[in-house]
Structure 1
């Protein structure tokens, strides 16, 4: 079989703090005397489930603890650089990293100052690693929709200057999707990619609400569109890409095991699928791992894996030259004889 780390690919679903290396988390926590829960220490990676509100609260608490170790500008720069290095090691050619500045603004001088820091760190990491990079600014479903409008205006100010998209994350069961339509209209007018989460913890009805109210170009997860053939046909016809994160889906209890992740159903329907790692810090698996688990779970051929990589590139906001080189290198990977 061909080496999946050598398969060129784009990474479209990676959360900021969730991209942190476990070793970095331990080091920064020790530096500042932060006591980590066992599930982020000796018992890592944590055993998670978000099947109910209590389970999601535990997951969010771990994420918040991990975020608390980011205390200095150098911490932020280190996180971004290491995320880039890890993606390059996994065959990444383009990364769109997702961040909610409101979760960090209080410590870093406000949401604008933090966004400036992240974008500068992205430029530096890209130059040092050769990985193409951009940022998706995401609002939080658990906060007021007016906060989302503030973030949408912020994202619009940086459109064309490192920010390529606007998202909506956190517990899909919280908030009313239509209430965030105003924020997404602001982002849409700025020409940003619209990439809200939907179709992970909730099913087809949630996806319809996201498509109807937020005009999504890509769906964070969207995997449960497989449960409704008519909805899946609509997604395919509209060209809405699905950011599918298999290891995350199993870890959070969306599916019982990797063989239950309905990737074949999505592909057979003609959906555009971009595999993503979501939060490697919490799920213990990075980008190449998503391809490897789906290869093993569904006996995917290298031709299918190459097409998944192509779809990730086509669904990205990478510049044309990056797209062209990466697609050509995917073809070259497939042309090489397997080891």
Structure 2
């Protein structure tokens, strides 16, 4: 199996539906409205997806709940051949952005991650854009105060149309000063301008999604020239209707233009995908072979928010196949 690196994975969004249903049953919480008749997550559009996502998070109430979630998610990643993952972690869902509570959640998460040695994990603290700039500052403080070997990045997710990147510069400056790698969701719904704004105001080295950059040749040239890595999640884009079908997805065009692209699953059970599914579609539709996938994973290793020893070890494993 091809050794895979995943840079764009929302921890809560990777929770298997059965896991969330089980927690809901244990806690006496009725979440039946967020599942369909087959027990899968059910939503109508992106905004409804956010509602369902946040509802599922309501049963993740303790550090031990998150430890159990980590074990389940990383076990799935290992089955898919993932050797390194960066999971987006939100202090909003881990103690309500209280620093003391966040430390407790983080300790449980890190301990659980160590129990799945097949997958090397790092945490990217992620503020929620539609929760507003003040909440983002609190999330950034949690990130800055716990930056180190495990918490290595900071980013922003949520409703890409809420506010403007300039509203979050303080949070990103705080994270930058703490030595964290920076990424931002952009170019999924907001068009090329949202990517430019994230680059100009947040000064990130990676963009989550970024696919609508393809509509602006100058922006594509800038991404390629500056080596801005895109965390592309094709299956997510198809499931949410960003693109109507796989054949229309621009990942191969972006790659051919010299933009560093990587492949991730985003929120896999919500979008009925896995890393193996993503690779199979890319192989079938764009002719990507093992050599191409190895290069994609080298790109991911070079863009990862990790120390140089870990990076070298990842590259060695990729080269070994």
**TM-score normalised by the shorter chain: which range applies?**
over 0.9
Q: TM-score, normalised by structure 2?
A: 0.93
Partner of 2:94: 104
Post-superposition offset of 1:289: 2.4
Could you tell me which residue of structure 2 aligns to residue 30 of structure 1?
A: 25
Q: Which runs of 5+ in 1 are unaligned?
A: 1-5, 50-54, 334-339
Q: Secondary structure at the match of 1:94?
A: strand
Once the two structures are overlaid, the 10-residue window that deviates more, 15-24 or 210-219, is 15-24
Normalised by the size of structure 1, how large is the TM-score? Answer: 0.88
Aligned-partner SS, 1:278: coil
Structure 2 alignment gaps of length 5 or more: none
Of 182-191 and 212-221, deviating more is 182-191
Q: Counterparts of 2:119 and 2:100 in 1: how far apart (Å)?
A: 24
From 55, 58, 61, the equivalent of 1:68 is 58
Q: In the TM superposition, what is the alpha-carbon distance from 1:199 to its structure 2 partner?
A: 0.5
Structure 2 residue aligned with 1:282: 270
Q: Distance in 1 between matches of 2:191 and 2:301?
A: 26
**Counterpart pick for 1:296 among 264, 281, 284:** 284
Any conservation in 2 of the 1:172–1:197 contact (CA below 8 Å)?
yes
The answer to whether the 8 A contact 2:232-2:261 is kept is yes
Measured in 2, the distance between the counterparts of 1:34 and 1:194 equals 36
Aligned to 2:294: 306
Does the C-alpha gap of structure 1 residues 267 and 82 become closer, same or farther in structure 2, counting only changes over 3 Å? same
Q: Cα offset for 1:70?
A: 1.5
Verify: 1:250 aligned to 2:238, yes or no. yes
| Residue 222 in structure 1 maps to residue 210 in structure 2 | yes
Distance 1:151 1:179 in 2: 14
Counterpart in the other structure of 2:318: 330
Partner of residue 15, structure 1:
10
Aligned-partner Cα distance in 2 for 1:13–1:71 = 23
Cα 1:58–1:37 change in 2 (3 A) is: farther
Name which of structure 1's ranges 302-311 and 68-77 shifts more when overlaid on structure 2: 68-77
Deviation of 1:202 after TM superposition, in Å, equals 1.4
Distance in 1 (alpha carbons) for counterparts of 2:3 and 2:306: 13
Task: Tell me if 1:56 matches 2:42.
Answer: no
Q: Which residue is equivalent to 2:142?
A: 154
Give the RMSD, CA atoms, in angstroms. Answer: 2.0
CA–CA separation in structure 2 for the residues paired with 1:150 and 1:272:
31
Does the C-alpha gap of structure 1 residues 38 and 257 become closer, same or farther in structure 2, counting only changes over 3 Å? farther
Deviates more, 1:114-123 or 1:272-281: 114-123
Map 1:201-212 to 2 at 5 A: 201-212=189-200
Q: Deviations over 1:151-173 (max 9, x none)?
A: 21221111214211111110111
Tell which has more relative contact order, 1 or 2 (C-alpha 8 A, sep 6+).
1
Deviation at 1:62, TM superposition (A): 0.8
